[in-house]
Amino acid sequence: ADEYIDISYSFLFSKLSDVPRYDRLIEYKEKTLKYGEWYYGPQKWTMHALNVSYDRACRLFDETKIVLAFQEFEESRHDRKFAKPELRNRTENVDALSVNADFDKKIKENATVYYGLEAIYNNIKSTAHKKDILTGKINQALTRYPDGKNLYVAVAAYSSYKYNLSEYLTFNTGIRYNNVSLHSTFLDTSYYHFPFDQIDLSTGAVNGSFGIVFHPGEKWQVNLNFSTGFRAPNLDDMAKIFDSEPGNVVVPNKDLHSEYVYNLDLGIVRKAEDILYFELTG
């Protein structure tokens, strides 16, 4: 075996019990209770993860870590109107594949470069049906998400640089590029008549950060950071159909755009004891 390489595999599985929504059970429609049942079904989660670490230095890196993971999620929602026999069952299944590769390289005694790649692929399947609890008859029901294909893909690349100017002052900066794609289709449009039967998104952005950490004394630290941020709409934002609260229904919107943010913060830290410190951030 190579002394510089470390490989590990993890398998995780969890299953939760039903989770009642008591807040839904006290809702009224006029003078009568609205729901006879409302609960989340057992949530199931499975993950396979392969971790590879390699710490033999070369021209491109001193150390690298690669994580390949595959996850399966299942969650469901179940509700029945008060004094009605039809129990509505809505289920979401998500297959999620992800790859992360991180590298670092010390280019000087007091300077280190970090860089890496990330890729995420999600396949979401949404199904629904109504079951008569008296006769067992099954009928079609509206899904929570579009009932066709639902694909979400995100890729990113980043690089950051850390430079210790002195024992009192550290400088760091970084840049990251994100690209997000989403594809979602509606098959059954007999109930909701949206002016579209497909949602497509492809967007990306470059973000950056710049920061300085100053240690004027052994127990003091001053941080100054500037950064930009980016968030692309996901399937929840663009394609979900649900009643967020009594009287309100959220419907799909194919014209949503990405969000951008600019941050500037100053922080001061004062250590009082080895296990106690005070921090002020603004």
Could you tell me the pTM of the whole model? Answer: 0.87
Q: How many whole angstroms separate alpha carbon 115 and alpha carbon 103? A: 5
Strands in 109-219 per DSSP E: 111-132, 138-140, 150-164, 169-185, 198-217
Q: What angle do CA 115, 120, 122 make, to 5 degrees?
A: 175
Q: Determine the longest span between alpha carbons in the chain, in angstroms.
A: 77
- Work out how many domains the chain is built from and give that number: 1
pLDDT at 244: 65
Phi and psi for 22 in degrees, rounded to 5?
A: -65, -30
Q: Is 223 within the bounds of a domain?
A: no
Q: Is 187 within the bounds of a domain?
A: yes
pLDDT at 277: 67
Q: Is 280 within the bounds of a domain?
A: no
pLDDT at 250: 81
Q: Are 176 and 191 in contact (CB under 8 A)?
A: no
pLDDT at 204: 97
pLDDT tens digits for range 104-120: 999 999 999 999 999 99
Q: Is 134 within the bounds of a domain?
A: yes
Residue 189 belongs to domain spanning: 5-209
Q: Are 13 and 74 in contact (CB under 8 A)?
A: no
pLDDT tens digits for range 179-189: 999 999 999 88
Q: Is 140 within the bounds of a domain?
A: yes
Phi and psi for 137 in degrees, rounded to 5?
A: -70, 140
Report, as ranges of residue numbers, the positions in the chain whose pLDDT lies below 50: none
Q: Is 264 within the bounds of a domain?
A: no
Q: Is 119 within the bounds of a domain?
A: yes
Q: Is 217 within the bounds of a domain?
A: no
Would you say the C-alpha torsion 190, 196, 200, 206 has a positive or negative sign? negative
